Amino acid sequence: MEDTSTHPARQSAAVPLPAQSNPPRRILVVEGDDRLRSQNTEVLIRYGYHVDAAEDGAVAWKALKSGSYDLLITEHNVAKITGIELLKALRAARITLPVIMAAGNLPKWEFTLNPRLEPAATLLKPYTTAELLGTVQAILRVHASPADQIVLPLSWPYRTPTDRLRP
């Protein structure tokens, strides 16, 4: 009996889809609590994101000016430059970046006084890993470029080039 597993024209059509060509989305996490910053960073990396972390607002602002990010997740009560101050700096510099604000107490009065500072989403502390991931995915989906939104369904029929050439 002939071994068909090594013959390209006779391989199964159940070949996995090629990996996405889009690079991983870049996220900056700003969190003063070492444990929570590490935990959030590890979770996001595990789910395929490229993550940088900052322990305070000054470090975050330096990273934002020198890097290109798809999302900023910042604690409001972070040292040196608060989350609101980061939002003000982003808007003043005309950097368009979706922001998720994490806080135990959100400064709603700031958003009322200046609606353009309103973050894309908020996470009330304490939040779960599922809440973090769900919020990140939702915000990145809303703010995705058209090229990022092309997703092939899992049932998409993929055939090797030799399958198409068979008589």
Residue with tokens 């510099």: 93
Measure the CA–CA gap between 11 and 160, rounded to whole angstroms: 9
Within a domain: residue 147? no
For residue 48, how many C-alpha atoms fall within 13 Å in the half-sphere facing its CB? 8
Its sign, for the CA torsion 73, 65, 83, 93, is negative
Beta strands in 37-157 (DSSP E): 50-54, 71-75, 99-103, 121-124
Choice between 158 and 90, residue whose per-residue pLDDT is larger: 90
Per-residue confidence band for 145, with pLDDT thresholds at 50, 70 and 90: low
pLDDT tens, residue by residue, 10-50? 333 333 333 444 678 999 999 999 999 999 999 999 999 99
The count of other CB atoms within 10 Å of the CB of residue 4 is 10
Within a domain: residue 8? no
Range of the domain at 51: 26-140
> What pLDDT score was predicted for residue 22?
62
User: CATH number of the domain that 66 lies in?
Assistant: 3.40.50.2300
> What pLDDT score was predicted for residue 17?
33
Is the per-residue pLDDT at 106 higher than 80?
Answer: no
Is the per-residue pLDDT at 2 higher than 70?
Answer: no
Within a domain: residue 5? no
Is the per-residue pLDDT at 9 higher than 70?
Answer: no
Q: How many domains does the chain have?
A: 1
User: For the whole prediction, is pTM greater than 0.75?
Assistant: no
Measure the CA–CA gap between 38 and 43, rounded to whole angstroms: 9
> What pLDDT score was predicted for residue 152?
40
